[in-house]
Amino acid sequence: MSIVDWNRDNCAVERTLSVIGERWSLIVLREAFLGVRRFDQFRRNTGVARNILSDRLNTLVANGILRRELYQEHPQRYEYRLTEKGLDLTPVLITLMDWGTRHESGGEPAVLLEHKGCGATMMPRLACPECGDQVSARDVRAVPGPGATLR
């Protein structure tokens, strides 16, 4: 039976997009990934309206992607830091940056990400965990996983 015959109700892409798929959520994550921590810094760097930024930060905190840390008592002010769950989005953000550079900005990156260990520019690569071969979409196939159900 083909994968197209299986139900999409348990789709990981759909569930992920429900949390981070809104434009400003990804922009906030980009800023957090680049080291921005405070509300006013997010506002200044992105130009997002206060109410929208507040909503996106609250959503990302509620979903365990960011955590709030108090840095000032009076008045109370918080920093927003990536959690482990948020840090797990690093490959996604690197891939989006690479795709945008290659397809939407003339091939000239605005930001280069360097490996701290050796200084090489980071590039997203998909590799087989078993043999280590680099793979493309043409090299993989979708098969039903343990959470799949028939339509």
| Closest by CA position to 34, among listed 45, 23, 24 | 45
Tokens of 39: 């509300």
**pLDDT at position 101 over 70:** yes
Domain boundaries, the chain: 3-139
Kindly state the average pLDDT of the residues 96-100: 92
pLDDT at 1 over 70: no
| Mean residue pLDDT across the chain | 92
Q: Are strands 77-82 and 66-72 parallel, antiparallel or unpaired?
A: antiparallel
Q: Of 67, 70, 26, which Cα lies nearest the Cα of 48?
A: 26
Predicted confidence (pLDDT) at residue 18 exceeds the cutoff of 80: yes
Give pLDDT tens digits for 27-60. 999 999 999 999 999 999 999 999 999 999 999 9
- Global pTM value: 0.85
**In which residue are the tokens 């290659």 written?**
102
Say yes or no to pLDDT of 110 above 90: no
Region 16-23 average pLDDT:
93
Average pLDDT over residues 106-119: 90
For the cut 90, the answer to whether the pLDDT of residue 150 exceeds it is no
CA–CA distance, 83 with 67 (Å, rounded to integer): 6
- Residue 6, pLDDT score: 74
CATH 3.30.1050.10 is the classification of domain 3-139: no
